């Protein structure tokens, strides 16, 4: 029996974040994110619309602002998740996804959970906002861990060591 760890040659560092993207954990994250998008759309088009009509002036303003922030946040997260899935399924190269990912803003539109009108918001909307912010933090952490800057440097990447190796090679030592 061969497992995927047998193929590691030791030449390059392992990116656990990149391994996670190809795992069942990522599939769970993807399903959670897409499910939250669908649940939010259903809520805002149905019960949320009805609930918003009963709010006072401050509540109505906060509802409109937060529902726009919520949908924008979820669309950015869905874009990121879809890009990662496209790479996993071979529909897009990592470099193509990297170019598209530059258009995705994972830090977009935080929600203030206090202030005039916040307490008037329906519990369901507050729950969706909270869950979307939690998902946003998970995706931000994963995205940061996947960035080239987060990759561990190989042991021989020490610049002094590299120069010494070059000198030794040049002088046959």
Mean pLDDT of 15-35: 78
Output the CA–CA distances (angstroms, integers) from residue 14 to 62, 63, 69, 135, 161, in the order listed: 45, 44, 36, 25, 21
Which one has a higher pLDDT value, 127 or 8?
A: 127
Q: How far apart are CA 46 and CA 54, in angstroms?
A: 14
Least confident among 12-16, 22-26, 48-52, 103-107? 12-16
pLDDT at 87: 85
pLDDT digits (tens, 9 = 90+) for 60-93: 999 999 999 999 999 999 999 999 898 888 888 8
Tokens representing residue 119 in the block: 């307490």
CA distance 158 to 101: 30
Q: State the pTM of this model.
A: 0.72
Asked if 8 contacts 104 with a C-beta cutoff of 8 angstroms, the reply is no
First to last CA, the chain: 43
What percent of the chain has a predicted confidence (pLDDT) above 70?
77
Domain 14-150: CATH superfamily, name plus number: Protein of unknown function DUF1465 (1.10.8.930)
Q: Is the dihedral of CA 71, 74, 75, 76 positive or negative?
A: positive
């Amino acid at each position: 029996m061969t497992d995927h760890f047998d193929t590691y040659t030791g030449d390059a560092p392992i990116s656990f974040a990149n391994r996670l993207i190809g795992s069942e954990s990522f599939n769970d994250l993807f399903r959670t994110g897409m499910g939250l998008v669908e649940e939010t759309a259903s809520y805002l088009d149905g019960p949320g619309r009805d609930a918003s009509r009963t709010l006072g002036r401050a509540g109505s303003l906060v509802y409109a602002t937060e529902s726009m922030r919520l949908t924008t946040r979820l669309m950015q997260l869905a874009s990121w998740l879809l890009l990662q899935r496209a790479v996993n399924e071979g529909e897009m190269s990592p470099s193509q996804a990297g170019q598209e990912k530059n258009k995705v803003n994972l830090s977009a539109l935080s929600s203030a959970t206090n202030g005039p009108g916040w307490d008037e918001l329906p519990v369901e909307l507050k729950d969706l906002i909270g869950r979307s912010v939690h998902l946003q933090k998970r995706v931000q952490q994963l995205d940061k861990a996947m960035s080239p800057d987060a990759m561990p440097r190989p042991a021989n990447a020490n610049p002094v060591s590299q120069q010494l190796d070059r000198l030794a090679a040049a002088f046959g030592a």
